[in-house]
């Protein structure tokens, strides 16, 4: 089983968007039983909160539900639990390294590193542009899934 944890600052916009987009892609590919997908925050600011309403609306526009999500913080133990821990921007990655105590197994990456675009996922908290975030997350998740399913055993 491939276990993926998507991570952003508060776990109410970008990382839950990535979590639910990836779950949708995996379901449509008939691979649900082969994946465990979740998301977390590097901060404590939004712990327990649902997906931010504009992010929830953007997912709903594409027929994707995020019901039941409650923001949680990344824990050091998550490093051992997940195969891939994927941040949305460089600040997330720095905090992930701090919380996890490093990355000795090379599990940490940025979502857009899995695409030819190779940048950061646009942060709608500051820009208000949830469409740009949707585009980045969709591109990143599809590229990640394509890479994972091309590996033997998936």
Give the dihedral sign, CA 99/100/104/108: negative
Q: Tell me the angle at which helices 53-61 and 14-28 cross, rounded to the nearest 10 degrees.
A: 20
Q: Which of 78, 89, 123, 136 is catalytic?
A: 123
Residue with tokens 């916009």: 13
The reply to whether 141 belongs to the active site is: no
How far from 54 is each of 39, 81, 100, CA to CA, in Å?
18, 30, 30
DSSP label at 73?
B
Catalytic residue among 14, 24, 78, 89: 14
Please give the Cα distance from 141 to 22 (Å, whole number): 6
What does the chain come to in residues? 154
Which residue in 8, 13, 100, 141 is the catalytic one?
8
**Is 136 an active-site residue?**
no
User: Quick check: is 8 catalytic?
Assistant: yes
Q: HSE, CB side, 13 Å, CA atoms: give it for residue 75.
A: 8
Give the position of tokens 């908290």.
125
Report the catalytic residues: 8, 14, 123
């Amino acid at each position: 089983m491939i276990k993926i944890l998507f991570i952003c600052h508060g776990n109410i916009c970008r990382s839950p968007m990535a979590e639910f987009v990836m779950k949708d892609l995996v379901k449509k590919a008939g691979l649900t039983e082969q994946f465990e997908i979740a998301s977390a925050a590097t901060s404590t600011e939004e712990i327990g909160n649902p997906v931010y309403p504009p992010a929830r609306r953007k997912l709903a526009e594409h027929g994707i539900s995020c019901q039941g999500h409650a923001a949680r913080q990344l824990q050091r133990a998550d490093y051992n639990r997940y195969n891939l821990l994927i941040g949305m921007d460089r600040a997330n990655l720095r905090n992930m390294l701090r919380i996890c105590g490093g990355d000795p197994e090379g599990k940490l990456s940025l979502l857009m590193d899995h695409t030819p675009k190779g940048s950061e996922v646009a942060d709608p908290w500051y820009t208000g542009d949830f469409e740009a975030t949707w585009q980045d997350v969709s591109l990143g998740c599809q590229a990640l899934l394509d890479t994972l399913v091309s590996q033997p055993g998936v």
